Chains A and B, each alone.
Chain A
């Protein structure tokens, strides 16, 4: 069995030799085919994040056009038909194609580095998830481009989304949902297994970085939330395509069944989006106050509690429907109580700041912005938990203001802070601080100018999802103000885009740990080598890089000629096995194409399901059968390490 040795220094020559071998084993392949066969988590994670930001840009442009349309009464930039497509595609993009994928993508990119391993547990499933997500986005935008964008809202309430929207628009929407849910599920399973089984030795449960905790928590939420919306959207597609009656009241179905299922997914979705944001905040606060976040156990418990409670709130989206009142009180209470764990986390961060030495770098500014914007969103969230108050503001611009404060404050600000923070690891270069500060202040002002007036518009009776309004409503001036604010946001985000672009090319070279941070990803080069760590680190404290006194304890004796990772126990991360990862493969991409061959043809004919089943099974066969894998049969146990592994002894 393995034995903990007395620390033995490693020779530079050995390290170089091992690095060369690891580089050969883990390197990405060149060319387009190599790109499609890629299974490295750093590449897949980057693709997720970059693709998601492209969708953020598209969703943002849609929002900009809508703000132009609403800037004055009876405007004619968009007709109702286009407007309905715009707001549906905007909402669907932001929820399904930006927010969830970007957070899971950050997780795929960061988690293996943070927990000290070489790749995620299921590299091919991970790659498959990315392509499936990408195809979902392409399907939606392809349809939108040909004026077949969905127009029944991102919530697609039947019967409007069934019998009253003929054509293929909603079908494309429903299929996009299924694509992105499959991708999210693939990512979640991968991340759960990675976090449970591939942590570096010594990274016990109470030493897991808080961002990794947040990803673990949302991965579990995804396992329950995403199947719900997938089943619901399949029911919806069946109602539309083969005349089932799930939501048809005339034949015993019920439109409210959709609402229950949709919000059982839709409310946790909000937490899936902003819990990773809370994870980002913890790391940025710790690094820029130079002390670990206060109250680690409380932080973790708060995340877990939020996740559980997040599934008990869905009915507060349905207070206006004909429901018994007694049930509603329960959901009010639950919606109120969920403010407590979030509050506790905010208090812990403020306490950490009070006990540390703040450094006002751009990532930290975005965290301060998070405190301002998210607190407002949280407070209006408590307001809408009240049934009588909610009935007045539900489905008005007040709610639009509320959830933009929550999502921009709780997810976008931390995410942008995280981009500034991890960009050096991403690209090897620092982003411009000057541009970063312009970006921050303009965004903070723009967001408040855009969304604060919407609270008042809601009070004045302006419902959501209206393509225009009449002059006599008096909603004109505040809408003009909101539209002007949207202009400021556009400028801020253009500065950001320029900052990313120019810093990627000419930014200051960052080095491994430019911020003096404490977690393991800063122990690798920037950008990381394809194997992340030449030697898997051994973790001895919650802040490994702050504890290390010039030396770094590591694992030796791992093979460098195959893609081998160390498997450790779930609770105390004791090494208990190894796992040889599969190498690059084209089959994740091809299988994803086969999934598309299922979901796109069924929009036009039920026979698509038959074609699709055959295609998917063929894809799975190509994926699973031995001839398609590059790994050779394993030797019998005992004879496994024929070529001598590098032990400290051998190294000497």
Chain B
């Protein structure tokens, strides 16, 4: 898993990492020169003359201006390359919620559209264009190894893009303070080969399989007859809530609750029973007293089967 602006996985982050390297070298040089000047000023044998001072300050100031000019030119050129959005590429809409990410793979046919949460799967070598919106407060989309930040501001639609060149999992986290669980609002971009992407995408478009055993069947029944369905959507069932993440293929995800827990049946059951124990302030209510242990295990088993 990668999460470092100096371990880029795509062209945008690579350009900035190269520029960052340049900034490090220049900054270190400037810092070194200032410190050398300071030490020399402290230990020189005889006090410097008025003319010496004037020359020194003039030289240092011109060097500063020259360095800043080079910086500015390089910066604007990096800004031009990274700022230009591609005209082709898959179009995604990302909607920020307190404290998770809703992701839509847009398609001109509504039935082909894929809705998922917190994890974005993309093909390598292809630009991905994003439309960013917020459902509540300001969030910020950031995947360090792929691209810099873009804020999700209510009332505004921001556009941005990224591209992954190396297959792998890239982690990111909400970068604008958004409330209690700003710390647990992670995002994963999984870059895969174009072929794997196509098969993943087909899988996501398909209606999830029906429960394969009695426990799972019970899970579905509980899901539909208790409060779960008011907030969550599962394709092919009457559950069509939109307040929480779409669970149609939740079993195929790596993590639960925006990177908070590994996606295992035990964690899933624990999460359903008491989200607050893992993520205080999560909008999902606790189910102590409303669901029995067995019901929770059944729902977890059912959800794990949704791949």
Q: Do chains A and B touch in the complex (CB under 8 A)?
A: yes
Report Cα–Cα, A354/B172, bound state, in Å: 49
Complex Cα distance, B42 from A343, in Å, reads 19
Task: Evaluate whether A386 and B42 lie within 8 angstroms (CB atoms) in the complex, with A355-B52, A466-B182 already known.
Answer: no
Distance in angstroms from A239 CB to nearest chain B CB is: 13
In the bound complex, CA of A336 to CA of B69 (Å): 9
Report the Cα distance A255→B34, complex, angstroms.
42
Residue of chain B at shortest CB distance from A368:
B38
Cβ contacts under 8 Å, B259 to chain A: 470
B72→A333 contact, CB < 8 A = yes
Cα A376 to Cα B179 in complex, Å, equals 32
Closest to B150 in A: A320
Within 8 A of A (CB), among B95-148: 98, 136-138, 140, 142, 144, 147-148
B233 contacts the other chain (CB 8 A): no
Q: Which residue of B lies closest to A351 (CB)?
A: B53
Find chain B residues with CB under 8 A from A48 CB: none
Interface membership of A340, Cβ < 8 A: yes
Question: Is A296 on the interface with B (CB-CB < 8 A)?
Answer: no
Are the CB atoms of B64 and A339 closer together than 8 Å?
yes
Q: Do B53 and A157 have beta carbons less than 8 Å apart?
A: no
Q: Who on chain A is nearest to B61 by CB? A: A344
Is B175 within 8 A of A294, CB to CB?
no
Q: Which A-chain residue is minimally distant from B17 (CB atoms)?
A: A392
Residue A461 CB within 8 A of the other chain: yes
Tell me whether B272 is interfacial, beta carbon within 8 Å: no
Chain A residues 319-348 with CB under 8 Å of chain B are 320-322, 325, 328-329, 332-333, 336-337, 339-340, 343-344, 346-348
**B-contacting 9-mer, from A119-127, A377-385, A582-590, A640-648:** A377-385
Q: Is B136 within 8 A of A159, CB to CB?
A: yes
Stretch at the interface among A78-86, A202-210, A443-451, A616-624: A78-86
Q: Is the CB of B16 within 8 A of A389?
A: yes
Task: Indicate if A441 sits at the interface (CB-CB under 8 A).
Answer: no
Instruction: Give complex CA distance A368, B43 in Å.
Output: 13
Q: A157-B138, A336-B72, A343-B61 are in contact. Are A389 and B23 (CB under 8 A)?
A: yes
* Contact A347-B151, Cβ < 8 Å, known A337-B68, A354-B53: no
B3 A460 Cβ-Cβ under 8 A: yes
- Contact across chains for A340 and B61 when beta carbons are under 8 A apart: yes
Q: Is A553 an interface position by the 8 A CB rule?
A: no
Does B20 belong to the interface (CB within 8 Å)? yes
**Is A387 an interface residue when CB atoms closer than 8 A count as contact?**
yes
Closest A residue by C-beta to B43: A358
Check: B19 CB closer than 8 A to any chain A CB: yes
Is A157 a contact of B176 with CB atoms below 8 Å? yes
Q: In the complex, what's the smallest C-beta–C-beta distance from B221 to chain A, in angstroms?
A: 34
A465→B177 contact, CB < 8 A: yes
Dominant SS at the A interface? Answer: helix
Indicate whether A463 reaches chain B with its CB closer than 8 angstroms: yes
Would you give the shortest CB distance from B219 to chain A, in whole angstroms? 28
Contacts of B34 in A (CB 8 A): 346, 350, 371, 375
* A393 is an interface residue with CB less than 8 A from chain B: yes
Interface window among B75-83, B195-203, B208-216, B223-231 = B75-83
Known: A321-B151, A379-B30, A463-B175. A350 touches B38 (CB 8 A): yes
Whose C-beta in chain B lies nearest to the C-beta of A81? B180
For B53, the chain A residues whose CB sits under 8 A away are: 294-295, 351-352, 354-355
Contact partner of A473 (CB less than 8 A), chosen from B3, B6, B48, is B3
In the complex formed, the residue of A with least CB distance to B40 is: A354
What is the CB-to-nearest-CB distance from B41 to chain A, in angstroms, rounded to a whole number?
4
Q: Report the bound CA distance from A295 to B58 in whole Å.
A: 11
**Contacts A396-B175, A473-B3; is A382 near B31 (CB within 8 Å)?**
no
> CB distance A371 to B38 under 8 Å?
yes
* Contact flag A329-B76 (CB < 8 Å), given A383-B23, A386-B19: yes
Q: Is the CB of B138 within 8 A of A388?
A: no
Pick the contact of A379: B5, B27, B98, B157 (CB < 8 A). B27
Residue numbers in A under 8 Å from B71 (CB-CB): 336, 382, 386
Bound-state Cα–Cα, A460 to B82, Å: 21
Q: Which residues of B contact A472 (CB under 8 A)?
A: 1
**Residues from chain B with Cβ under 8 Å of A152 in the complex:** 177
The interface residues of chain A lying within 8 Å CB-to-CB of B64 are 339-340, 343-344
List A contacts of B153 (CB < 8 A). Answer: 249, 255-256, 321-322
- Per-position 1/0 for B240-267, Cβ under 8 A of A: 0000000000000000000110000000
Query: Which one of B49, B136, B175, B183 contacts A80 once the chains associate, using CB atoms below 8 Å?
Result: B183
Q: A332-B72, A344-B57, A347-B60 are known contacts. Are A461 and B156 too (CB-CB below 8 A)?
A: no
* Interface bits A124-168 vs B (CB < 8 Å: 1, else 0): 000000000000000000000000000011000101100011000
Query: A18 interface residue, CB < 8 Å from B?
Result: no
Contact A354 B56 (CB under 8 A): yes
* Chain A hits for B68, CB < 8 A: 336-337, 339-340, 382
Chain A proximity of B56: nearest CB distance (Å): 5
What is the bound-complex CA distance between A379 and B259, given in angstroms?
35
Q: Does A459 count as interface, using CB distance less than 8 angstroms?
A: yes
Query: Size of chain B's interface in residues, with CB distance under 8 A?
Result: 81
Contacting B at CB under 8 A, from A449-477, are: 459-461, 463-470, 472-473
B155 at the interface (CB under 8 A from A): yes
Chain B min CB distance to A133 (Å): 27
Quick check: B76 and A332 within 8 Å, CB to CB? yes
> Is B155 touching A391 in the complex (CB atoms < 8 A)?
no
Which residues of chain B are within 8 angstroms of A372 by Cβ–Cβ distance? Answer: 35
Residues on the B chain within 8 Å of A249, using CB: 153-156
Using CB atoms, name the residue of chain A closest to B42.
A358
Do residues A295 and B27 form an inter-chain contact, with CB atoms below 8 A? Answer: no
CB of B183 within 8 A of CB of A461, answer no
Report yes or no: A350 in contact with B4, Cβ–Cβ below 8 A.
no
Query: Which of A153, A160, A394 is close to B148, meaning CB atoms less than 8 Å apart?
Result: A394
A395 to B141, CA, bound (A): 11
CA separation between A329 and B83, bound complex, in Å? 12
User: Nearest chain-B residue to A466 (Cβ)?
Assistant: B183
| Assembly CA distance A322 to B34 (angstroms) | 38
Question: How many angstroms from the CA of A395 to the CA of B1 in the assembled complex?
Answer: 22
Flag whether A525 is at the interface (Cβ < 8 A): no
Complex Cα distance, B37 from A346, in Å, reads: 11
- The answer for the CA separation of A264 and B19 in the assembled complex, in Å, is 29
B60-93: contact bitstring with A at CB < 8 Å (1 yes, 0 no)?
Answer: 1100110010011001101100110000000000
Q: Is the CB of B82 within 8 A of A388?
A: yes
Please tell me if the beta carbons of A353 and B41 are within 8 angstroms of each other in the complex. Answer: yes
Q: Which residues of B contact A375 (CB under 8 A)?
A: 30-31, 34-35
Q: How far is the CA of A165 from the CA of B98 in the complex (A)?
A: 12
In the bound complex, how far is the Cα of B143 from the Cα of A472, in angstroms? 16
**In whole Å, how far is B154's beta carbon from the nearest beta carbon of chain A?**
5
Pairwise interchain contact B148-A350, C-beta atoms closer than 8 A: no
Docked pose: A468 CA to B136 CA in angstroms: 22
Contact B13 A160 (CB under 8 A): no
Contact (Cβ within 8 A) B280 A459: no
The answer, yes or no, to whether B171 is at the interface (CB within 8 Å) is yes
B174 proximal to A (CB < 8 A): yes
With A84-B180, A159-B136, A340-B68 as known contacts, state yes or no: A386 contacts B78, CB within 8 Å.
yes
- When distances are taken between beta carbons in the complex, the residues of chain A under 8 Å from B172 are 461
Instruction: Please name 18 pairs of A and B residues whose Cβ atoms are closer than 8 Å in the assembled complex, sorted by A.
Output: A160-B138, A255-B138, A255-B153, A255-B155, A320-B176, A321-B158, A322-B159, A339-B68, A340-B68, A371-B38, A380-B27, A388-B148, A389-B75, A395-B175, A463-B142, A463-B174, A465-B182, A469-B183
Please provide the 4 A-B residue pairs with the shortest distance between their CB atoms, ordered closest to farther.
A249-B155, A391-B148, A466-B183, A354-B41
For the complex with contacts A160-B179, A295-B53, A390-B148, 18 further pairs of A-B residues with Cβ separation under 8 Å are A80-B181, A164-B98, A320-B175, A321-B153, A344-B57, A347-B57, A350-B38, A350-B56, A371-B35, A386-B23, A386-B75, A391-B148, A392-B5, A392-B16, A393-B5, A464-B177, A468-B183, A468-B184
